[in-house]
Structure 1
Amino acid sequence: MAAVELVQLAYEDLRGLADSAPAAHLVGAAEGAMPPPHVAARALAQIDAGVPAFWSAPFLMVDKANGAVLGGCTFKGLPSCGEVGIAYGVAMTARGRGIATEAVRQLLVLAGREGVRTVIAEILPANIASSKLVTRLGFAQGESFVDSDGETVVRWTYSIG
């Protein structure tokens, strides 16, 4: 199993990522490991609107062995009715090593500690690796629907407790 630590991005780091000008300590990350500018901008907007950073600022997936940033994951906003959404991505060069599995497992633990009962992952049907990941972790496949970006996704749910 991959030894990954989740490190939440600071507000200043989010601002740099949103402006496509990451801070010097983030520049060495593998291509595709950092959250994209639109994710950082969404997190900043949520924080500025009063959503606690815990629920909106992405976490970096950091390799415990060497400190390398391998990917990112996040809650997608405040829980509602006991549910919270998650998103995650791993650099192409770090895929297939259990990194996302470990990071999502850690997000599930964090969500449970905060009283969340259901975690939602919306996955593109063509993303077989991600579908296999959530299946391994015990998510249940739900219905397909068109999301706010106009893409068809499958809703996967994980019940805590």
Structure 2
Amino acid sequence: MLELIPLDLANLRRLAASDPVDLGGIEICEGALPPARVASHALAQLDIGTPSHWCAPFLIVSRNAILGTCRFRAAPAHGSVEIGYEVAESQRGQGIATAAVRLLLQTATSTGLVRQVVARILPNNVASSKVVSRLGFSKGDSLVDDDGETVVLWSIQVAT
């Protein structure tokens, strides 16, 4: 069984500082935690008052092991929210990302604030494109993101 557990503030700060996290003996698969820039982005969102469930990563946990993380990038705006996700390389190809994104979709829908969920995916990231396609996302236009990378915009309308 897979579950999403919010990353606590102390560990979010550790991750942003590239310090070791303390998750109480839970095994962390290599590459399961996001890079420091993701934690720093979440901390910046918290600083402007964004509720933690809309910006702090969720740990993807199964059998007392962290397999990856997923998150909302910010609070919904105009009924739309953006997601991000990553799974440790050793855990890929097992449906973990699909299950985690499905749980994020359920979380977003349950708030009553979200009508659309968006994911920005690099054009050559076939695996991530398959995840969102499998869940009913539609492929949209390509655009250049804030990092100067071309990404494909995938979106799904959700019932509120």
TM-score normalised according to structure 2 size:
0.95
Q: How much does 1:132 deviate?
A: 0.8
Cα distance, 1:135 vs. partner? 0.6
Partner in structure 1 of residue 151 of structure 2: 153
Q: Which 5+ residue runs of structure 2 have no aligned equivalent?
A: none
How far off is 1:157 after superposition?
0.4
Q: What one-letter code is carried by the residue in structure 1 that aligns with 2:93?
A: G
Give the equivalent residue in structure 2 for 1:133.
131
Whole-angstrom distance in 2 between the partners of 1:109 and 1:30 = 25
Contact 2:11 2:22 in 1 (8 A): no
Q: Provide the rounded CA distance (Å) in 1 between the counterparts of 2:94 and 2:153.
A: 24
Deviations 1:43-91 (A, max 9, x none): 111111111001010000001xx21000000000010000000000000
Match of 1:47 in 2: 46
Tell me the distance in 2 between the aligned counterparts of 1:143 and 1:4: 32
Residue by residue over 1:111-159, the C-alpha shift from the partner in whole angstroms, topping out at 9 and shown as x without a partner, is: 0011200000000000001111111100000000100110000000011
Structure 1: 5+ residue stretches without partners: none
Identify which range, 132-141 or 28-37, moves more after superposition.
28-37
Aligned residue type for 1:34: L
What does 1:96-111 correspond to in 2, within 5 Å?
A: 96-111=93-108
- Cα distance per residue 1:6-45 (max 9 Å; x no partner): 0010111100101111233278411110111110111111
Cα RMSD for the two superposed structures = 1.1
CA distance in structure 2 between the aligned counterparts of 1:22 and 1:75, rounded to whole angstroms: 23
Q: Report the Cα distance in structure 1 between the residues aligned to 2:74 and 2:24, rounded to whole angstroms.
A: 24
CA deviations over 1:91-123 (Å, ceiling 9, x no partner): 000000000000000000000011200000000
SS of structure 2 residue aligned to 1:17: helix
Secondary structure, counterpart of 2:43 in structure 1: helix
TM-score between both structures, scaled by the size of structure 1: 0.94
Q: Which runs of 4+ in 1 moved over 6 A?
A: none
**Alignment pair present for 1:36 and 2:32:** no
